[in-house]
Amino acid sequence: MGVVGEDFPKGEIEFLAKRGVDLSGLEVAVGRTFRWCGSYEYDMNEARTHSTCLNVFQEFRPKLSPAHAAAEFLFLGNIDPVLQRDVISKVANPKAIGCDTMNFWIQGKREELLKTLAGVDIMFINDAEARMLAGVPNLIKAARAIRELGPRILVIKKGEHGSMLFTDHTVFAVPAYPLEDVFDPTGAGDSFAGGFMGYLASRGKVEEEVLRRAMIYGSVMASFNVEKFSMDRLKTLTKAEIESRFKEFRKLSHVEELEV
């Protein structure tokens, strides 16, 4: 579900439809599409924000159909935390609610964001935003502080340094896929969340082993996303490529036990 402006390329919508994406919740509104302007310099892990223009997002109010309200797995994209909370109130009985955010909301609507976090199960956030939200430089301490705000499951994304999963029972780390050429990191976090939540939905449950595999699928999708500009790599991506890279990811940190 989402909103785009009249300027949004129709070809991009057609691509999503061809891939079987349900577009019944997509609105095309009068005005310009949301825009973020930023740059990456020496450290490709950190984006420098130059401007954020909400445009049609500023007046967007999600309208849920009965099918949307019955969703078992809900992912709240990076939008106003007030709208995120509104969507939560309209979904009947989800098994898991995931949530994304960014520095724009952490700084500009902190109190509203905190109210939203009290009602979510899984939070996705990058390392810089985690430190900003928690107000501490150490990621482990930041993770504890954020989980105390509500999300029992926390995923901290660290760019080329991988990602970390924090739950009541464990801390699980996944390396990033080793790529020599990172063309465009924009959207890597969204791709990660899509792979993660998509795998949870495919399994229909939220358990420790499922969460760990979801971390790898999220990392797989993010690794493909950065290989080309915008959605270009995902347009040619196949299920076979995804499964092949999943197996490669598992090998990255697998160590056989040796007899002493």
Is residue 51 helix, strand or coil?
A: strand
Sorted by where each starts, the structural domains of the chain and their CATH numbers stand as: 1-63 (no CATH), 66-252 (3.40.1190.20)
Summarize the confidence of residues 41-50 as an average pLDDT.
74
Alpha-carbon distance 13 to 8, whole Å? 8
CB burial class (10 A; 0-12, 13-18, 19+) of residue 128? middle
Task: List pLDDT tens digits, range 113-161.
Answer: 999 999 999 999 999 999 999 999 999 999 999 999 999 999 999 888 8
Question: pLDDT band at 49, cuts 50/70/90?
Answer: confident
What number of helices (H) and strands (E) belong to the chain? 11, 10
Strand 163-166 to strand 171-174: parallel, antiparallel, or no bridges (unpaired)? antiparallel
Beta strands (DSSP E) in the chain are 2-5, 26-29, 35-40, 47-53, 73-76, 96-100, 122-126, 153-157, 163-166, 171-174
Taking a C-beta distance cutoff of 8 angstroms, is the pair 222, 188 a contact? yes
Taking a C-beta distance cutoff of 8 angstroms, is the pair 154, 121 a contact? no
Summarize the confidence of residues 189-193 as an average pLDDT.
92
Summarize the confidence of residues 61-71 as an average pLDDT.
92
